[in-house]
Amino acid sequence: MTACHRLLLLAALGVLAACRPEPAPKAETMPPEADEAQAPMLARISEAAAAKVGIRSAVAGPAEIREHLPLYGTVKPNAERVREVVARFPGSIRSVAKAIGDSVAKGEVMATIESNDSLQTYPVIAPMAGTVTAREADPGEQAGSEVLFSITDLTTVWVELSLFPADVGQVKVGQRVAVASVDARLSGSGKIDLVGALGEAATQTLTARVTLPNPDRQWTPGLFVNANVELGADAVAVAIESTALQMLDGVTTVFVPMPGGYAPRSVQTGRSDASRVEILSGLTAGESYVSAGSFVVKAELGKAGLEEDEPEKAAPAEAAP
């Protein structure tokens, strides 16, 4: 082969080498440990199991947060519906028809008295319907100007709330009030119809009064009650039920439904009332969250975490030769 031919061959080989495609770089693969680290925590609970233990979901969205002032008070008779019964003429009480606790109708005979002047017997008539709450009349006694009976209409009662000076500026006539017995067995509502002008020296409080309907006579004068005065309402963009909140590692958390279970989501809360709480971040309007049974989800998540943290049993060491 001549020198010229060798030069032509070397040139052709160089062109072929330049046209040969370079091999593609190998794709980097994440180790399994990294994939697992990226996976979210999940409480694995099936839909059937969730329904069985009472886990329910709701949708976050706009709501009104109502601000309340908690107060304490006592049930009292409606003083505007109390009548005292006296004898029309002095005389001897011949008979008594009613006792304390009895119901009376307007115009019903409560007692009979023989007049000292005419020696004629006349009836003592109930001036209104109600319940006999006091009796100072017995047959054979003399009736004069003293009160024989007290009748109280218990179809309404007063709830007198103790109002501390620091709260006086917040409570006004017309505000709605939710009232409940101390054992929460009874509940009702009314409006503030009086804020007292004079304070009690012994307790350093004023009295705010609520007239409460009592058609079934369930509110007994003398009972202590809890009350919440509604101060106002604010519209918020995102709110959830307060039963959804749980503390997880010191962080306020809700749980959101995911395929295969429920995942924790940290949230920042704002204003709240007895049933709802405002969400400032962490959850948006339209997202689902666990509204009931969140404590069950938290427990299941904690159990799953403990299982993952359990150290593997070490293999038995081989005996030395």
Tens digit of each residue's pLDDT (9 = 90 or more) over 225-254: 999 999 888 899 999 999 999 999 999 999
Helix (H), strand (E) at residue 299? helix 294-309
**CA–CA distance, 83 with 19 (Å, rounded to integer):** 115
Percent of the chain at pLDDT > 70 equals 82
Farthest CA pair distance, the chain: 169
Where, residue-wise, is CATH 2.40.30.170 in the chain?
68-77+155-234
Residues in the chain, overall count: 321
Mean pLDDT of 152-173: 92
Q: At which residue do the structure tokens 């159990």 appear?
A: 303
Write down the pLDDT at residue 310. 52
Percent of the chain at pLDDT > 90 equals 67
Q: Minimal CA–CA distance to 127: which of 146, 109, 100, 154?
A: 109
Where, residue-wise, is CATH 2.40.50.100 in the chain?
82-152
Write down the pLDDT at residue 318. 45
Higher pLDDT: 318 or 60? It is 60
Higher pLDDT: 121 or 272? It is 121
Q: Does the pLDDT at position 280 exceed 60? A: yes
Q: Does the pLDDT at position 9 exceed 70? A: no
Q: Does the pLDDT at position 84 exceed 50? A: yes
CATH number assigned to the domain with residue range 68-77+155-234, chosen from the 4 options 1.25.40.10, 2.60.120.260, 2.40.30.170, 1.10.1040.10: 2.40.30.170
Write down the pLDDT at residue 139. 96
* Six token digits for residue 122: 């006349």
- Per-residue pLDDT of 176-227, as tens digits, reads 999 999 998 999 999 999 998 888 877 788 899 999 999 999 999 999 999 9
Q: Does the pLDDT at position 312 exceed 80? A: no
Q: What is the pLDDT confidence band of residue 13, given thresholds at 50, 70 and 90?
A: very low
Q: At which residue do the structure tokens 């705010």 appear?
A: 208
Domain spanning 41-66+235-308: which CATH class is it, in words?
A: mainly beta
Average pLDDT, the chain: 85
**CA–CA distance, 6 with 15 (Å, rounded to integer):** 15
Write down the pLDDT at residue 274. 78
Instruction: Classify residue 218 by its DSSP letter.
Output: -
- Per-residue pLDDT of 43-58, as tens digits, reads 999 889 999 999 999 9
Write down the pLDDT at residue 187. 92
Which residues fall within 8 angstroms of residue 122, CB to CB, at 6 or more apart? Answer: 88, 89, 112, 113, 115
- Per-residue pLDDT of 99-151, as tens digits, reads 999 999 999 999 999 999 999 999 999 999 999 999 999 999 999 999 999 99
Helices (H), 20-111: 32-38, 47-53
Q: At which residue do the structure tokens 């279970």 appear?
A: 261
Mean pLDDT of 155-159: 96
Helices and strands of the chain, counted as H and E runs:
4, 21
Mean pLDDT of 155-164: 94
- CATH 3.20.20.70 given to domain 82-152: no
Q: Are strands 206-213 and 187-195 parallel, antiparallel or unpaired?
A: antiparallel
Q: What is the pLDDT confidence band of residue 63, given thresholds at 50, 70 and 90?
A: very high
Q: Minimal CA–CA distance to 113: which of 134, 97, 89, 136?
A: 89
* Six token digits for residue 241: 């039920």
CB atoms within 10 A of CB 70: 10
Q: Does the pLDDT at position 38 exceed 60? A: no
